[in-house]
Amino acid sequence: MKRQWRFMLLEETYADFSIGTSPALERGLMDGLSLNTVVLNVFPEDSFTVGVLDDPEKAIDLKFCRQKGIVVRRRNTTGGTIYTAKGSAVICYYLRTSDPAVPRTIGEAFPRILGDFAAAAQNLFGFPAKYRPLNDVEVEGRKLMPSSCKVERNILVFRLVLNVKLQNKEVTSKAILMPPEKVQDKTLKTVEERMTHLEREAGREITSLDLENFVRLAVHLSFGDVELAPGEMTGSEKNYCREFRALYSQDNWFLANSEAYRFKKIPPEAKRGEGRVKAVAGLIRAVVLKRDDRIHDIILTGDFHPRPHTVLSDMESALRGSPAWEDEIRRRIGEVYHRPGVEISGTNLEDFISAVIGALAGC
C-alpha cells in the first residue's frame, strides 16, 4: 500500500529556515502532530549557518559578514559551515524510524540517502555525481550537496543543501575560515575549487519543476512507494516556529561554544592550547586551559555528526579536572566514546585523543 507523506514547498533563507521552520517541523513529528514530511525550500537571499557543535568565531569571519549584511545563524543540527546562495535550495526529510524503509542510524543514512541523490542527479541531469563519505555528493572532486543528519527520539532529520546557482566567490573565500587540516585530504584545496553547482554540471538552467522532480525521484529511490501530498504547517508547528526563532536568534545561543562565552574567568596561571584533527567525518577541535598539570577547562567543537549531539559536552565534563596524562585522557574519553547509544560515524577514539593531547602540547 502506498504511504502518504507531507510535501512542503517553501521560500525562506537557510538561516531563517534553520532556526525556526526546521526545528518546528521536527518537534511536530516528535509530538505526533504531523506526518512524515519532505521539504523543498528555495532560498530568496544569501545566508550562512554553522552547526550546533561548532564555534562561529572560528568557522566564519563574522566581521566580513556584518559588513556585507549577510545573516549568520547557529542552527540546532550538526555538521559544518554552510553558505547558501539566492536561488539554491535545501531538501529535508523529517521521518519516523518506525517506518521500515527509514534508516535507524546515521551510519546507514548517509551512504544510502546520498547514494540515491547521486543516482537521481545522474538520471535527471546526466553528470557523474557520486557519494563521497561521510556526507557529501561530489562531481569529479567538487562538492555539490553538503548534508547533515540527526537521529534522536526515533526521528530522522536529514538535510541536504543543493547548490543550484553559482556561489559568490568573494563571499565564500573571505567569509569561511578554512584551517589547513580541513582540506589536507582533498585534491582541490580552496573553497572556490571545492564547490560546484547544479546548473554548471547540468549545463543548463534549473527550474523549480526540475528541483521538484529531483526530490520525488530521490524519495522514490530511497523509500519506495511513497505519495508526496502537498501540505502546510499545522497551528502547533507555527507556534513552535515562533518560539524557536526567538530562542535561536539570541547571542547566548549563537556564541555558546566560543571561548569568549565559555572561558569568561581564566586563572592567570592557566595556559591555553589548541589541537585540531581532521577525521573522515570532519574537523575535531580541542581548546584546553591547563593549570597545575591538569585540564582546568576544555571546549570540544566540530563539524561532524555524532549521536547524541550532547556527546562532546559529555566528553568535556569527563575531562575537566583530569590529570594531563595521555593514559588518563584516553580512559576518560574512551568511557564516553564507547558508551551504549553513542554513534560518531567517520571517527575513531584516537581522533579525539589526538586533538586533546595536541591542545595540551601547545600549553
Q: In the chain, what are the domains?
A: 3-254 (3.30.930.10), 270-361 (3.30.390.50)
pLDDT at 80: 87
pLDDT at 189: 46
CA neighbor of 78 nearest in space, from 308, 344, 304 = 304
Q: How far is CA 26 from the centre of its chain?
A: 15
pTM: 0.82
Residue 17 pLDDT greater than 50, yes or no: yes
pLDDT at 305: 87
pLDDT at 187: 45
Residue 311 to residue 309: CA distance in whole angstroms: 5
- Average pLDDT of the segment spanning 328-345: 96
N- to C-terminal Cα separation, the chain: 62
- Cell 582540506 sits on residue: 183
pLDDT in tens, 222-262: 999 999 999 999 999 999 999 999 999 999 999 999 999 99
pLDDT at 188: 39
- Average pLDDT of the segment spanning 282-310: 95
Range in 43-47, 81-85, 115-119, 312-316 with the lowest mean pLDDT: 81-85
| Other CB atoms within 10 Å distance of the CB of residue 252 | 8
pLDDT in tens, 150-166: 998 999 999 999 999 98
- Cell 596524562 sits on residue: 325
Residue 89 to residue 13: CA distance in whole angstroms: 9
Residue 114 to residue 228: CA distance in whole angstroms: 19
Decide which of 170 and 112 is more confident.
Answer: 112
Helix segments in the chain, DSSP class H: 14-16, 22-30, 56-59, 62-68, 106-125, 169-175, 191-194, 198-202, 208-223, 235-248, 251-254, 259-262, 311-319, 326-337, 349-361
Q: What band does 148 get if pLDDT is binned at 50, 70 and 90?
A: confident
- Interior angle at CA 12, CA 38 and CA 78, nearest 5: 65
pLDDT in tens, 19-76: 999 999 999 999 998 999 999 999 999 999 999 999 999 999 999 999 999 999 999 8
What mean pLDDT, rounded, does the chain reach?
Answer: 93
Contact, 172 vs 68, CB < 8 A? no
CB within 8 Å of 254: residues ≥ 6 apart: 56, 73, 74, 248
Contact, 350 vs 338, CB < 8 A? no
Residue 318 pLDDT greater than 90, yes or no: yes
pLDDT at 183: 53
- Average pLDDT of the segment spanning 212-217: 98
CA neighbor of 51 nearest in space, from 22, 84, 81 = 81
Beta bridge partners of 94: 37, 157
pLDDT in tens, 184-201: 554 434 555 678 999 999
pLDDT in tens, 79-113: 889 889 999 999 999 999 999 999 999 999 999 99
Residue 314 pLDDT greater than 90, yes or no: yes
HSE, side-chain direction, 13 A CA sphere, residue 3: 19
Q: What band does 301 get if pLDDT is binned at 50, 70 and 90?
A: very high
pLDDT at 1: 67
- Strand extents, DSSP E, 71-111: 72-74, 82-84, 89-96
Contact, 286 vs 274, CB < 8 A? yes
